[in-house]
Amino acid sequence: MKKKDKKRFWLTLGTGMIIGFINGFFGGGGGMVAVPLLEKALKLDNKRSHATAIAVILPISVVSSIVYALETRIDWINLLYVTIGVVAGGIVGAFLLKKLSGKVVRIIFVIIMLAAGIRMLF
């Protein structure tokens, strides 16, 4: 393996570990960290970063869910209702990602990140 390829490998692995830690520690939210990391560290374009983040969150969420389920920390009734909404929202979001420009996607993402940050302050 070339030196450049090794560096890329370790950078990619480290990025994944950070995303996994955030998702496991907070029980979600890995995507909010994944998108900027994928863009900055791995130099992926905006849309590819969002699509990759979504694909990466699935295995992370499955593993985290198993850990939480073993500790009986899941509210199963709310899980059912939220899952229905998440699936519907995910379908709509995936179609919109294909249709919107990278600039519009970035603006929406920034607005949501700012709103979440402000909400956490209060």
| pLDDT tens-digit map of 78-100 | 989 998 998 999 899 888 888 99
Compute the distance between CA of residue 104 and CA of residue 108 in angstroms, rounded to an integer.
6
Q: Does residue 76 carry a pLDDT above 70?
A: yes
Q: Does residue 9 carry a pLDDT above 70?
A: yes
Domain-by-domain residue ranges, the chain? 3-121
Compute the distance between CA of residue 20 and CA of residue 33 in angstroms, rounded to an integer.
10
Whole-model pTM over 0.85? no
Compute the distance between CA of residue 56 and CA of residue 53 in angstroms, rounded to an integer.
5
Compute the distance between CA of residue 10 and CA of residue 1 in angstroms, rounded to an integer.
12
Compute the distance between CA of residue 91 and CA of residue 72 in angstroms, rounded to an integer.
29
Compute the distance between CA of residue 78 and CA of residue 92 in angstroms, rounded to an integer.
21
pLDDT in tens, 63-73: 878 887 888 77
Q: Is 115 helix (H, G, I), strand (E, B) or coil?
A: helix
Q: How high does pLDDT run on average in the chain?
A: 84
